[in-house]
Amino acid sequence: MKEFTTYNSVEDLDSESKYLVHKAKEATVHSYAPYSKFCVGAAVILDDGTVVTGANQENAAYPLCMCAERVVLYACASQHPGKKVIKMAVVAHKKNHKELMPASSCGACRQVMQEFEHRQHKPMEVVMLSPGEKWIKCSSAQVLLPYGFDASSLE
């Protein structure tokens, strides 16, 4: 499987990815982003077909802000233990604007996605709008974080 596949339009994505992009957009309604005004939504599909969503949650103590990707992954682990995350879509827009902005998952989220992959023994696909303004589908979190830190580093 190709590590990265790019698409000029959201319409060119497979239907499951399109649906997750739609759910991620809906999830931005629950962003709490009074400081950055950058609303991020993430939607995942689990191996039983369940869709779970999350949105970024900020705090006046800035380092405590939590990205949408980690909100949704930790919700999955807590509310759907044992289910595997098959795919995630991430979208972002400026507060009170409709147009989507590129949102490339931060390094901390890539690290957490990678640990999920190790835990579940299965890669998760990640769909996002790249800074080059193309939709990109990554075959796994692993390819988003080469040579990352993991449990084997602690042995």
Scanning the structure block, which residue is given the tokens 């998760």? 124
Please check whether residue 128 is in contact with residue 136, taking contact to mean a CB–CB distance below 8 angstroms: yes
Quick check: 17 binds ligand THU (CB under 6 A)?
Answer: no
Please check whether residue 114 is in contact with residue 145, taking contact to mean a CB–CB distance below 8 angstroms: yes
Cβ nearer to ligand THU, comparing 53 with 105 = 105
Q: Out of 53, 58, 87, 125, which residue is the one contacting ligand THU (CB under 6 A)?
A: 58
Joined together, the tokens standing for residue 35 give 């400081």
Report 79-118 residues binding ligand THU (CB under 6 A). Answer: 103, 105-106, 109
Catalytic entry in 11, 16, 58, 69: 69
Give the helix/strand (H/E) hosting 77.
Answer: helix 68-79
**Percentage helix, strand, coil for the chain under 3-state DSSP, each rounded to 5:** 35, 25, 40
| Rounded CA separation 10/52 (Å) | 20
The CB-of-155 to ligand THU minimum distance in angstroms stands at 29
The CB-of-110 to ligand THU minimum distance in angstroms stands at 9
The CB-of-135 to ligand THU minimum distance in angstroms stands at 16
Q: Out of 38, 77, 80, 143, which residue is the one contacting ligand THU (CB under 6 A)?
A: 38
| Rounded CA separation 17/10 (Å) | 9
Query: Annotated catalytic, 3?
Result: no
Residues at the site binding ligand THU, with contacts judged by CB under 6 A: 33, 36, 38, 40, 56, 58, 65, 67-69, 103, 105-106, 109
Active-site positions read 69
